[in-house]
């Protein structure tokens, strides 16, 4: 098939590349000319394991190309994916201006039947707005062209997105016509060889499924953080509790790791947007409100532990931060706990030395003018004369450390383990003041 992807952000780039990988001819469209030039050279704007090689291979094989010409993109294929951003507004609602602008442009260019697929995460009812926008544009052109709108939400984990797309758990397809379903099912046939992964449903249910999935995962994280905070007050160890409840197959071990809160481009935005949708329909989504509130508070927990040890004034103190991205295997710092933690350290007069194996360039963009922020090339470099080490992201390289070297480099021997990757007894025996989450 010929496929057009409009938007070369995280979702669009991964989706387009993986569709090309199974033999389709994919044209990715973006209005950022310099980005398109970089992509045509195989230079990526994001870090995602395995993606760069796939982009270069499919560019070389002429199955993948990038352009700013949306008119050509509409003419190129029967299936058009809308994968542009839906940033949160101040009230928490998803901003659909980019999605609807693309829909209007599609209506300006289309001359024959098209399947318009909303791949962006959008509130329930967005596909109706996309359909109405295209229809109005066609009416203004006094043109009668048949088309279908499909909801096909993505379920990609940052850091494992290529694997998720090529070997999906499920492929949700929300349709209101057999014609569009057959086209979408044909497109995803290469991913169905082992067993049927396509789940057909109505469009609104498809749109809600995406939000419900992310809200459920966010709920598990906030619940465990709530129990971890309670465990500290009760003198229990949350790691024992985690293993005790995770062994129940009805609960499982996924997403029950306590820490310093979730971040990224999905969970915070989607929980807010779903809560906003509930309020618009006169429903008080109390669990969603609590999930968001617990997560916001959890990002301050590592700083509260520093205050517990040092007091409120951090003037003249240096803090080593290991991990800046919101999770391992990505450079994404959107809504990352590290940003809240560092802001609180600076507010109290402290200096930060930070290391992250991948998010270095992103951190430079955010903090290049901050004289209280220093990026280092190696994790142990951040420890020079540090009064405390804060583990914020659970990168694998932090799991097995040289405690003697850590102790030698630090001015004071305080470790705040925001991801519970160390054993408290081992750190205490080695002479550290250790603070975990719920330990």
Residue 190 has a CB neighbour count (10 Å cut-off) of 14
How is residue 348 written in tokens?
């109290």
Helix (H, G, I), strand (E, B) or coil at 389: strand
CB 283 within 8 A of CB 248: no
CB 431 within 8 A of CB 224: no
Cα separation, 32 vs 99, in Å, equals: 16
Helix (H, G, I), strand (E, B) or coil at 205: helix
CA 77, 79, 85, 86 dihedral sign is: positive
Using DSSP bridges, classify how beta strands 64-67 and 79-82 pair: parallel, antiparallel or unpaired.
Answer: unpaired
Cα separation, 32 vs 30, in Å, equals: 5
CB 299 within 8 A of CB 260: yes
CB 190 within 8 A of CB 20: no
DSSP secondary structure of 267-292: HHHHHHHHHHHHHHTT---HHHHHHH
CB burial of 203-222 (b: ≥16 within 10 Å; e: otherwise) equals: bbebbbbbbebbbebbbbbb
Cα separation, 303 vs 349, in Å, equals: 13
Cα separation, 9 vs 17, in Å, equals: 12
Residue count (the chain): 439
Q: Residue 364: exposed, middle, or buried by beta-carbon count in 10 A (0-12, 13-18, 19+)?
A: exposed
* Active centre residues (catalytic): 266
Q: Residue 187: exposed, middle, or buried by beta-carbon count in 10 A (0-12, 13-18, 19+)?
A: buried
Helix (H, G, I), strand (E, B) or coil at 21: helix
DSSP secondary structure of 392-435: -S--GGGSS--HHHHHHH-SS-EEEETT--S-HHHHHHTT-EEE
Using DSSP bridges, classify how beta strands 171-174 and 318-322 pair: parallel, antiparallel or unpaired.
Answer: unpaired
């Amino acid at each position: 098939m010929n496929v057009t992807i409009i938007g070369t952000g995280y979702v669009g780039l991964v989706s387009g590349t993986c569709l090309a990988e199974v033999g389709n001819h994919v044209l990715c469209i973006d209005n950022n000319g310099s980005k398109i030039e970089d992509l045509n050279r195989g230079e990526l704007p994001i870090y995602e394991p395995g993606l760069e090689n796939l982009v270069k291979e499919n560019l070389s094989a002429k199955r993948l190309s990038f352009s700013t010409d949306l008119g050509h993109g509409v003419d190129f294929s029967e299936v058009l994916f809308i994968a542009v951003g839906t940033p949160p507004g101040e009230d928490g609602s998803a901003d659909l201006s980019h999605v609807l602008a693309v829909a209007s442009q599609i209506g300006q260019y289309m001359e024959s039947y098209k399947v318009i697929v909303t791949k962006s995460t959008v509130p329930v009812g967005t596909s109706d707005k996309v359909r109405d926008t295209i229809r109005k544009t066609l009416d203004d052109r006094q043109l009668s062209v048949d088309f279908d709108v499909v909801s096909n939400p993505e379920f990609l984990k940052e850091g494992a997105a290529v694997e998720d797309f090529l070997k999906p758990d499920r492929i949700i397809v929300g349709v209101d016509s057999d014609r569009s379903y057959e086209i979408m099912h044909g497109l995803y046939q290469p991913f169905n060889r082992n067993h049927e992964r396509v789940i057909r449903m109505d469009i609104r249910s498809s749109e809600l499924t995406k939000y419900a999935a992310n809200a459920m995962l966010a709920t598990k994280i906030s619940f465990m953080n709530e129990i971890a905070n309670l465990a500290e007050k009760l003198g229990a160890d949350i790691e024992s509790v985690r293993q005790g409840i995770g062994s129940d197959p009805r609960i499982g071990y996924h997403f029950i790791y306590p820490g310093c809160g979730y971040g990224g481009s999905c969970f915070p935005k989607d929980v807010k947007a779903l809560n906003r949708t509930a309020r618009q329909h006169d429903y008080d989504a109390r669990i969603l409100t609590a999930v968001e509130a617990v997560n916001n508070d959890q990002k301050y927990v590592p700083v509260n532990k520093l205050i517990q040890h040092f007091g409120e004034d951090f003037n003249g103190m240096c803090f080593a931060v290991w991990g800046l991205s919101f999770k391992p295997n990505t450079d994404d710092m959107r809504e990352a706990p590290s940003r809240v933690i560092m802001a609180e350290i600076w507010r109290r007069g402290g200096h930060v030395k930070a290391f992250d194996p991948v998010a270095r360039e992103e951190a430079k963009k955010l903090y290049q003018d901050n004289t209280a922020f220093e990026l280092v090339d190696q994790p142990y470099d951040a420890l020079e004369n540090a009064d405390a080490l804060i583990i914020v992201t659970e990168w694998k390289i932090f799991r097995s450390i040289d405690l003697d070297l850590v102790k030698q480099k630090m001015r004071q021997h305080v470790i705040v383990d925001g991801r519970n990757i160390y054993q408290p007894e081992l750190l205490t025996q080695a002479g550290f003041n250790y603070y975990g989450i719920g330990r």
